[in-house]
Structures are given as structure tokens and as C-alpha cells.
Amino acid sequence: MSEEEKLIEAQKQVIGILFEVVKRYQANSDLDDEYLRLLAKGQDGGRLDEIIRERKENAGIIGRLLEQLET
């Protein structure tokens, strides 16, 4: 594999990681909106805990993805 091909492959990997990071941030933003709507309506049904769990999971994944970019 030539240097140019290696560079292109590395760029593709970075783009893929950044795409996933943006997707996870957007998911957390959507979860925040839902969380606030549920709080405003006084509804829960266990969904608030689920939202918090999903946000933490997304944050962990985002952290690991960003660490990959550092290497």
C-alpha cells in the first residue's frame, strides 16, 4: 500500500469516527429534549432513567471514539 493510499485510508477512518461522534451528540441532544418534555409534563414511566442510561452510554462511546483520534 502506497503512502497516498495509507493517507486516504486514515482520512476515511477519521471521517467515520467523526461521523459517529456527531451522531452520538445528536442522539444525546434528542434525549435531552425528550427528558425535558417528560419533566414538563410530569410524566416518567421509567423513561427518565432510561434516557439517563442512554446518555451515559453515548457519552462513554464518544469518549472512546475521541481517544481513537488522539492515536
pTM score, two decimals?
Answer: 0.83
- pLDDT tens track for 37-64: 999 998 877 999 999 999 999 999 999 9
Arithmetic mean of pLDDT, 64-71: 90
Domain boundaries, the chain: 3-70
CA pseudo-torsion sign 26, 23, 61, 17: negative
CA distance 62 to 21: 6
User: Which amino acid, one-letter code, is at 56?
Assistant: K
Residue 32 has pLDDT above 90, yes or no: yes
CA distance 3 to 6: 5
